[in-house]
Amino acid sequence: MKKLTCKNLQNVKEITNQCKYDDEFPGGHNDWLLVSCCQDNGYNELYNKLKKYQMIYNVSDEKILKAMCECCNKYEPNKRTHEKFDKCIYKKLRG
């Protein structure tokens, strides 16, 4: 996967528009264990993560978006679990 550009992000679409993801097996085995940084076809996981992080961290959306983008870059898609992703966000915003 190519590295996403993480500067000057204003919204989630600026992350998801940098890559393409077609869920060929919706609800597939272990799908729910992994964070998809590129999915934006009816379900946008990063948008849901942004809403979650807005309630947890008292920082700007721009900082959250940058952290999410950087955490997307940190892990290969098939290794990007929710636990790893959330820990990565925590380290970037609180660490």
Which pLDDT band holds residue 25 (cuts at 50, 70, 90)? low
Contacts of 62-65 with C-beta under 8 Å, sequence gap 24+, read 62/8, 62/9, 62/10, 63/93, 64/89, 64/93, 65/9, 65/10, 65/11, 65/12, 65/14, 65/15
Average pLDDT, the chain: 88
- 42-56 per-position pLDDT tens digit: 778 899 999 999 999
Average pLDDT on 3-30 reads 80
Query: Which residue ranges make up each domain of the chain?
Result: 13-94
Measure the CA–CA gap between 49 and 63, rounded to whole angstroms.
13
Average pLDDT on 79-90 reads 97
